[in-house]
């Protein structure tokens, strides 16, 4: 070994040591390689700003269990024609018995009914990666859409979802593999169909990755997105295993408590004696008057 190379090694060792020392200053505890890998895969160090939200507090929430950490994001469709404010109004009613942390409008704006640190009621009976009661450790995001796999999700809406999910991933160090859909975590399997078949998880994942690494290009929104005109109802056919209007409301309105709306819309139907093949009209708009009558 030459004198030159020895001094080079000395220099390298010195600079490596000072690098290590600098790292140690920023790293309060040693991490296992697997932890480092999962964090790198999940997020960059880039701080993603929280998108603007309209606060519409819902009473349908409670404390998360002690010691639980937020590590999962669950996407839903609202199964209704109303905009995000209308869904926020619905979640503000105790009889809805349901809520979410966020609602993404068709035009892209965001409503927040429940603060992140609280447990919102969006997942119901559920399991993710072998852990039950997904509400305990997840953030629930409702996406305004009929959920009929026909209504398209707008560019403005994907943009809103991507910015929100990227913020949550960065804020809570959520692995990208833990961005999931209600249909994937609901038990028994098949109880839920959201998000609908025409919703692209690939587009969300790709967009979130791009936001995290600073290469995101928002879609060109030349004209302001408007609320679409949507039909008054859609028709579904009773499948094997579905016997009550509550079953139909659970799968097609994403909320069993909304069976009263189905009954009002289908007065000829016997709520607890559905027949396979029977057609049920599912309202696209919530009629709040039904709940007021129901309470009286």
Q: Which residues contact Zn ion (rule: CB under 5 A)? A: 76, 182, 194, 254
In angstroms, give the least distance from the CB of 202 to Zn ion.
20
Q: Distance between CA atoms of 257 and 280, rounded to whole angstroms?
A: 16
Closest CB to Zn ion among residues 43, 105:
105
In angstroms, give the least distance from the CB of 91 to Zn ion.
13
Q: Which residues pair with 142 in a beta bridge?
A: 76, 103
In angstroms, give the least distance from the CB of 194 to Zn ion.
4
How far, in whole angstroms, is CA 296 from its chain's centroid?
34
Helix H, strand E, coil C: the string for 48-91 is CCCCCCEECCCCCEEECCCCCCCCEEEEEECCCCCCHHHHHHHH
Closest CB to Zn ion among residues 160, 212:
160
Closest CB to Zn ion among residues 42, 153:
153
The single-letter DSSP state of residue 283 is E
In angstroms, give the least distance from the CB of 217 to Zn ion.
30
CB neighbour burial string for 97-136, b if at least 16 within 10 angstroms, e if fewer: ebbbbbbbbbbbbbbbbbeeeebbbbbbebebeeeebbbb
Closest CB to Zn ion among residues 207, 256:
256
In angstroms, give the least distance from the CB of 184 to Zn ion.
11
Closest CB to Zn ion among residues 123, 211:
123
| Cβ-based neighbour number of residue 241 at 10 Å | 11
Q: Distance between CA atoms of 279 and 56, rounded to whole angstroms?
A: 35
């Amino acid at each position: 070994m030459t004198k030159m190379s020895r001094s080079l090694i000395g220099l390298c060792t010195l600079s490596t040591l000072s690098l290590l020392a600098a790292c140690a200053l920023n790293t309060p505890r040693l991490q296992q390689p697997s932890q480092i890998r999962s964090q790198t895969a999940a997020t960059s160090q880039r701080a993603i700003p929280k998108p603007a939200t309209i606060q519409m507090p819902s009473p349908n929430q409670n404390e998360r269990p002690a010691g639980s950490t937020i590590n999962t994001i669950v996407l839903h469709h609202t199964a209704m024609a109303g905009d995000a404010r209308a869904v926020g109004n619905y979640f503000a009613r105790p009889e809805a018995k349901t809520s979410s942390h966020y609602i993404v409008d068709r035009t892209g704006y965001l409503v927040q009914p429940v603060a992140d640190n609280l447990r919102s009621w969006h997942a119901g009976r559920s399991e993710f990666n072998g852990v039950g009661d997904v509400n305990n450790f997840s953030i629930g995001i409702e996406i305004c859409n009929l959920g009929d796999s026909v209504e398209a999700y707008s560019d403005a809406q994907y943009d809103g979802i991507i910015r929100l999910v990227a913020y949550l991933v960065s804020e809570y160090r959520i692995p990208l593999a833990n961005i999931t859909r209600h249909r994937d975590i609901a038990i028994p399997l098949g109880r839920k169909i959201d998000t609908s078949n025409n919703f692209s998880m690939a587009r969300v994942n790709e967009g979130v990755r791009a936001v995290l690494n600073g290469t995101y290009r928002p879609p060109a929104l030349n004209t302001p997105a408007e609320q679409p005109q949507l039909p008054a109802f859609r028709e579904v056919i009773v499948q094997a295993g579905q016997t009550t209007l509550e079953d139909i409301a659970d799968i097609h309105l994403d909320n069993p408590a909304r069976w009263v709306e189905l009954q009002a819309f289908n007065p000829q139907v016997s709520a607890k004696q559905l027949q396979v093949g029977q057609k049920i009209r599912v309202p696209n708009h919530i009629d709040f008057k039904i709940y007021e009558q129901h309470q009286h």
